[in-house]
Amino acid sequence: MRIRRARPGAAPPASGAPLLCRWDLDKTYLRSEFDSLRSLLRTAFERAEDKVEVPGVAELIRALKAAAERHGRKALVYFVSASPPQIGAAVRKKLALDGVPYDGIVFKDQLAHLRRGKLRNLREHVGFKLAELLRGRLAAPPGAAELLFGDDWELDSLIYSLYADVLAARLAPARLEPLLRRIRVDPGLADEILALAGRAAGGERVARIFINLERRSPPATFRLFGPRVVPTFNYFQTAAVLGAEGYLGAEDVARVGRVLLEGAGYTARGLENSLGDLVRRGFLEPAAAGALGTRLRATGVLPPADGPRARWRRVLGALGRLRRRRRMRAGRAAAGEAPPLDYDAILARLRPAAAAASGRERRGGT
């Protein structure tokens, strides 16, 4: 599967085959607070009724399921969380309260690490998540495409990219092994991952990786991860990209937008600006944004076009779209297929100290 920019009216890829949607929980689905020990403890003991979801996320998951059904296939929703299973009951109840249908949820058994005295593993999530994703893949129907959803608090973009490249056989175990060592994944777990990776590799399966910019990280931070990773500032943006790629209909995108308007203090103008931001960042083709915009305007999610000023804006917009389209085409022609990710550069950016140490180690050892 080639990584594509959004196309207007594109059919969902590989229709008939199920769609796997894998979600991180904290900061992606839930607005969990980890900023202080106090907030961490509060999150751990929070009741389901007190947990707050990120605006629009529940509607988006429901819409993904519904849209897949309309296309005659299944969308399977899984949550992979590094939180301990002790909060599982509250999380499951919260998902039920939100009316979110899901097909599985995995927690990280932190108590087991504590009992074994592996304190470093409490904070190391790359190994845990990668292993769980690979296990999930081996249990999934063959040929299923995947959409992955994470956030900018931890290393979701790295974990998901490693996973996607392992599946696509771009990261052979021999190349993955030193990366896991640099990330300081527990050696036992690393061996398990390498074994799973060998079995799971089979083709391009991950269509998109969405990163919820909960911390408002600069989008440029994610350029190293290539066009497969889509950093979004709100779930309306996520829905818009999914809509343009055919995973959702315009009415689904409108529903997500309406949730933000009615329950989260967003404005129609703000959503319009969010759409413009996606176009400028190259994740939505201007034509797709235009088509979607017309439908959303009709449903009141975007502000109405008004009078002579709107005509003036349309003319300017059309010129802008023409210019951007030319630029995008030129960019694509020059780039061709997305180049493989440079994990050394990514790790150096994410963990400069560790990368330097690892570099010294390698120089000393060889």
| 180: amino acid identity, one letter | L
Out of 234, 239, 258, 343, the only residue in the binding site for other proteins (CB under 8 A) is 234
When asked if residue 219 is in the footprint of other proteins (CB under 8 A), the reply is: yes
Residue with smaller CB distance to other proteins, 153 or 233: 233
311 near other proteins, judged by CB under 8 A: no
Least distance to other proteins, CB of residue 236, Å? 9
- Which phi and psi angles does 111 have, rounded to 5°? -60, -35
Task: Tell me which residues in 264-293 interact with other proteins (CB under 8 A).
Answer: 266-267, 269-274, 276-277, 280-281
Beta bridge partners of 205: none
Three-state DSSP at 94 gives helix
Please state the closest distance from residue 184 (CB atom) to other proteins, in A: 28
In contact, 104 and 79? CB cutoff 8 Å: yes
Q: Considering beta carbons, is residue 2 or 216 the nearer one to other proteins?
A: 216
Residue 322 phi/psi, 5-degree rounding, is -60, -45
Nearer to other proteins, 143 or 218 (CB): 218
Instruction: Please name the helix (run of DSSP H) or strand (run of DSSP E) that holds residue 194, with its range, or none.
Output: helix 187-200
Number of neighbouring beta carbons within 10 Å of residue 11: 11
Q: Please report, as residue ranges, which positions from 327 to 356 form the binding site for other proteins (by CB under 8 A).
A: 327
Gap between the Cα atoms of 360 and 354, Å rounded: 10
CA distance 218 to 276: 17
**Is residue 218 close enough to count as binding other proteins by CB under 8 A?**
yes
Crossing angle of helices 343-350/173-183, nearest 10°?
10
- Between CA 161 and CA 227 the distance in angstroms is 11
CB nearer to other proteins: give 149 or 266: 266
Contact call for residues 224 and 342 (beta carbons, < 8 A): yes
Cβ nearer to other proteins, comparing 267 with 294: 267
DSSP β-bridge partners for residue 19? 75, 145
Residues that bind other proteins (rule: CB under 8 A) add up to a total of 28
Which C-beta is closer to other proteins: that of 96 or that of 319?
319
202 or 227: whose CB is closer to other proteins?
A: 227
CB nearer other proteins, residue 197 or residue 209: 209
> Could you tell me the smallest distance in angstroms from the CB atom of residue 17 to other proteins?
33
Minimum distance, C-beta of residue 271 to other proteins, in the bound complex (Å): 7
Q: Exposed/middle/buried for 22, CB within 10 Å: 0-12, 13-18, 19+?
A: buried
Rounded least distance, CB 244 to other proteins, Å: 17
Taking CB under 8 A as the rule, does residue 35 contact other proteins?
A: no
* Cβ pair 200, 221 in contact under 8 A: no
Question: Six-digit token pair at 222?
Answer: 């994610």
Q: Does 210 bind other proteins (CB under 8 A)?
A: no
Q: Is 313 in the site for other proteins (CB under 8 A)?
A: yes
Query: Where on the chain is the footprint of other proteins (CB under 8 A)?
Result: 215-220, 233-234, 237, 266-267, 269-274, 276-277, 280-281, 309, 312-313, 316, 320, 323, 327
